[in-house]
Amino acid sequence: MLRISDPTRRQIDPHLESKASALDLVYTVAIGCPAGRPLSIHPQGHLLMGKSDSKPASGPFRADQLHDGDRYELSNGHPIYCAPAGPEHANRSLTGAAVIASDPDVEWAGVDAGFSPTPGTLRAPDVAVAAPTQARGWREGAPPLAVEYAGVGQDEPDLRVKIGELLAGGSSHVWVVRLIGPRRVEVHRPGQPMQVYGSGDDLEAPGILRNPIPVNALFDRAAADRAVLRNLLQRAGYDGLDAVRAEGMAESILALLEDRGLAVSAEVRQRIAACRDLDQLKTWLLAAARITDPARLFD
């Protein structure tokens, strides 16, 4: 049980301040933001836990009434309390966020970033990818890629509403990572049926991510580390780890030749530096310890 303090009540619902003594704002919440339920204001002033798929009338709240740090989303003007995430949800979402944010084509990614496609809507996906911005406040519209982790206590009706609001607001990909049952990710796209990807499959978001993401990398730390390493190497201009090894071996060959006092021509230097064949470079490295003329290195 969570009891909302008076300052929080006033911040979220100022027009109820005069009725504060008559209200006992107690909510039952589950772990994780998606597990929250929208609150409906009864005409008598009572707060009710609502069903998110019951399509209530528009609520009285706007996104600009909420501030950074407020633990609420808004759906059609109705506030949805977002409880802190449990250990599994927190760990898995961080793992997935690292993979997504490191993609070489991603310029901006955020965790629990607020997006407001309409004045009465404020949604904060677990992970979001969008264009970079210097603007303060909630981001307008919806992120091109939104990722939600769904675990114990997930409010499925609200999740369906959230997916619909994100797609309607401009998201082209919404991924729902299921933490219960077999490893799988549900992929939602505008105007298309949902697709399910399982362990061993790759997820793609053309125009948003350069590299495919293995489904397992959104769950498993080791798989995520491999994907992050690939992404970071590409950001640094390398195709992969072998390209780094090849560069290091080429530099070692040149350093050895120069340390032996041998003059290395620009042509020889360029050929060695351009090679990415690790076996060939190893052969040249061994030869560099014996030859007296760098031009004979390639014999």
pLDDT tens track for 145-177: 999 999 998 999 999 999 999 999 999 999 999
Average of per-residue pLDDT across 196-219: 97
**Rounded distance, CA 242 to CA 281, Å?**
12
Least confident of 14-18, 105-109, 155-159, 237-241: 14-18
- Residue keyed to tokens 């797609």: 167
Q: What is the pLDDT of the chain when averaged over all its residues? A: 84
For the cut 60, the answer to whether the pLDDT of residue 198 exceeds it is yes
Q: What is the DSSP letter of 119?
A: T
Least confident of 28-42, 52-66, 100-114, 158-172: 28-42
Average of per-residue pLDDT across 289-293: 93
Q: CB count, 10 Å around CB of 38?
A: 27
* One-letter amino acid for residue 81 of the chain: Y
- Residue keyed to tokens 């201009």: 237
pLDDT recorded at residue 299: 85
Q: Say which CATH superfamily domain 87-235 falls into.
A: tt1808, chain A (3.90.1570.10)
Average of per-residue pLDDT across 177-187: 97
Joined together, the tokens standing for residue 203 give 């997820």
Q: Which uninterrupted H or E stretch holds 127?
A: strand 127-129
272 neighbors 284 (Cβ within 8 angstroms)? yes
Average of per-residue pLDDT across 53-64: 79
Whose CA is closest to 111, among 141, 160, 146, 152? 146
Whose CA is closest to 8, among 274, 235, 17? 17
79 neighbors 12 (Cβ within 8 angstroms)? yes
**Residue 29: which residues within 8 A CB-CB, separation 6 or more?**
2, 35, 36, 81, 83
For the cut 80, the answer to whether the pLDDT of residue 8 exceeds it is no
pLDDT higher at 7 or 53 = 53
